[in-house]
Every structure is written in structure tokens, then in C-alpha cells.
A and B are shown apart, each in its own frame.
Chain A
């Protein structure tokens, strides 16, 4: 890739993304429009996240790429090798070693530090879309904090079915100002966003939006006083590979034994635990 600029994008494109990022950091939870570029990667493959990564990465960064918790999916491997080819930076699967982590659908189990940046790939950035199809209207609703329709949708959910039935991508309130989609992370990961020391950057390539949570931002999952927010119940689940508990697990059905088996969704975390265990 000799004919390309460092990190593939030309400097003016990167600057444009960084300007959008600065604005996003200045207004936590607010969706900033940006001029999303074409990339040699299929749509729906996290082009929003990749553009952020390419625009902020430096030669000394150590990169980790996660796809639904895993470092080894086709998606994660191809993004990782693309960025490595375009920058020459070192890559890792260890979340604690990484300075820059791009992810889809998970946040690492080990709490992030202030010297780390998490870039999240976002398919649907607009929390008001479920109640309002028009972009011009949702923009005005955010400006006026006109969030009653979202609350109403949650209320209606409870009235009809007895509970809030949202799964992943559960909306959050940022600094008591903007309602934001955390990207399709499980509810289990929502609390990790609250007052995290790390910088979180969200990129939606198709919808051309960037938003951010600067360090120590107040992030609360929407809930009613008498219907508190709940994460997925992982109690009683033990990782078949490393023995971990109280982390987010993937579930398998083992046809041989007819049993359900569990395994850490965060493969880097699982690997690290196995390495630190005495071999038997």
C-alpha cells in the first residue's frame, strides 16, 4: 500500500473527521454529521468506526479489533490487517496492552483506563427513530429535549407486556441532556460506559454520524423508578475454557451431552485468563 497516505485516508479527510470528533467530545451524546468516505471495505462492515480509527491512529498506537467479543472473526481479522497494512502499527488481542480498540457489539470485560480509546461501530445512531421517521424532526426533538415519546414507548412496553423488552442497543441518557444509542452492545455492557476513564468514540458510516463520551461522562440507562434497569442475567454461568464467572457469556448447545455450555464472549479476556492459569 505504498501509494497511500499513512492510515489510508488523505490528511484533509482525517482532519475533517477529527473536527467532527472534537465537536462530539465537546457535546457528549450529541450526533455530529460528518462527510463519510468510501473505503475499500463493504458497507455494514464498520466503515464509521474505521474512519475514526484511521483518523486518530498514530505510529506508536497498539491496536485491538473486536467483533462481538472476538479477535478472530473474519471481520475482526480483515479490519485488523487493513489498518496494520495502512499504518504499520502493532496489534494485540490483549485489551490492557492496547491503546486504541475498535469494537463491534462488545466492551472489554477489564475496565478501560484513561490512556485508552474505544471506537465503537454503530449501525443505527438515532434513538428517536423508533418513534419518528423524519431526520428534521428528530433533530428538533433533541434540541428541545423532547424525549417524552421514547419514555412513552418504554411505558407502553411495560403496560402491554409487563416489562421493557429491549435487548442490545438499550438507549442511555448522557449527562442528563442527550439520549444516545450505545451501539448494539448487550445491556450487560451499558454500566461500563458510566463514568469510564476512557474516551469512547462512536462512528456510524452509513448514517454519517459521529458521537462521543469523553472520560468520566455520566451515562444512565433509561428506566422508571419502579422498573429499574437490569442487565442480562449471567448468574450460574461458568466459562468452559477459563472458568470465569460474572462476565458476558456466549451460549452453546452441545448435542453430544445435550447440555448448554458457556464461554466468555470476550475472547481476549478468556485467553489471558487461560495463560495465567497453571497448566495441568
Chain B
């Protein structure tokens, strides 16, 4: 039973808005994810997950199903409404990360997690240089040596195939694909054991998508990083993830081996999703 896990989530709930007796007492009262009485959005409802070390887990679901909210909760951007969150590399997975101090969370964010945001404006400082954007992660982890940080950012930019000449340029000048690759470089700067990728290829040309996916696969192969990959493109998930969960209105409605889910979806919603997107 006690297989080593990289990440475990136990009953995560994220509500936007204050909530009221109606929606707090009965989930049936909600219209989709919204409370008809107080208007609160229950963006994530009682999600539990377990991801093994080195595994890539896919998360799919229609727009508004709560994927990005889940990812931001995993990256500790805000305090969720309820839930337990455990990382294998933090206190052997015995401490609920949502209950620890902000200082400890900062440590986890800079050393144990990397994140690529769906919206690059959330993940990058658009008017700082590309180099400084990557260095921010190193600085957050306590590095105070300019030369070593410049070397590291240079290596990372080479890895993501951004010409070194553009190191001093701000990402606001970059193409969408280059911004996503820069986010990846930033996310992996401290070699975190867990990587969170939210729609890393969405909106990119097919050829650019292929390069970004190659990069992700290379990182997984070379460093054995555990990943959670969100996409509403099932092809992306099929290519990367061995196991997939399907979200609807903030809940997981189906999960299993990716190929099985795509070939033999049980839930009617998943069937629609597969039919519409493949």
C-alpha cells in the first residue's frame, strides 16, 4: 500500500466567494459549479489524487471545469478552502502543506515545484529581461552569485533553444511559443522534483507545439521529474501522460490509464469530450 508517492491531494476544495448555508450543506444545490443563492463558484470540489514518482498525470476537462484552479492550488498560489496536500520530498509526505507557515511554503515553491501558467503574464515578468525571469527562481532559492546565475540561465536558455542573444530582451517581445519555453526554463531552474504544466502548448502552431512537447518529454526522460499536465487537447495528454483524470464542474468524474479512457470512455461526458476533440 505504501508505494512511494511524489504528490498526494486529499479532498481539495477551492471556492471563490463566501459561500452560504445552501451551498455549504448540499452539493446538489449547485448549478454546475455555481451556487444559485449566493453566487459562489465551487471551482474545485473534493479532489483527491496520488501521483507516483516520475509519473506524468494528465488532467483534461472542458473550459471552466477547474483545471487551472487545481494547478494554482498545487503551486501554493493561494490558500484553498479545504484539503490536504502532501509531497513525498517534504517531511516524507507526512505534513499537510496547506497547514504550514508561509516561509516553508516559499521554500517548497522555490525548491520542490515548478509551474508553467496557462497565461504567461502570470508566470513571467513581461518587462524584465528573459535572463532575469529565469534567475528569479534561483534568487528565490537563495542564490546570491551573479556569475553562477548568469551561467545557469545561459545553459537553460540553450536547452529551450532561445538564442543567447535574446537573454537581455523582455519576454513581452517574444512569440507565444518562446514565452512558454521561457516559462519552462524558469520552472526547471532549480531542478524541482515536481513540474506543473497548465496548457503548455495551447494556442501554439503545430510545429511549435511539437518542439515544446519534445522539450517536456526530454525533461521527463533526463531527470525523471514527476509532472501534472493540464490540457484540453487530448492529443497532448495521450502523448505525455500514462494516466489521466477527467474533470467536470470541479470534480473528477473519471480516471484511469490514458489509452483506456480515450478508447473506452465510461462517462457520457468523457465520451462527448473524446468525440469532439479527437
Contacts and interface: CB of A to CB of B under 8 A. Distances in A.
A159 B144 contact: no
Interface stretch (B59-67, B83-91, B129-137, B207-215): B129-137
B150 interface: yes
A143 B103 CA distance: 9
B38 interface: no
A146 interface: yes
Interface string A148-178: 1001100110111000000000000000000
B82 to A, nearest CB: 22
Given A144-B102, A160-B168, A155 B135 contact: yes
Interface string A131-157: 000000000000111101001100110
A152 B150 CA distance: 12
Given A145-B103, A159-B168, A151 B146 contact: no
Contacts of A152: 125, 128, 132, 135-136, 139
Contacts, number: 47
B140 interface: yes
A152 B146 CA distance: 11
A225 B139 contact: no
A216 interface: no
Contacts of B144: 151, 224-225
Contacts of B168: 159-160
User: DSSP majority for the A interface?
Assistant: helix
How many of chain A's residues touch chain B, expressed as a range? 10 to 19
B139 A159 contact: no
B39 to A, nearest CB: 25
A146 B106 contact: yes
B147 A226 contact: yes
A156 B128 contact: yes
Given A224-B146, A226-B146, A148 B132 contact: no
8 contacts: A144-B103, A146-B106, A151-B139, A155-B132, A155-B139, A156-B129, A160-B129, A226-B145
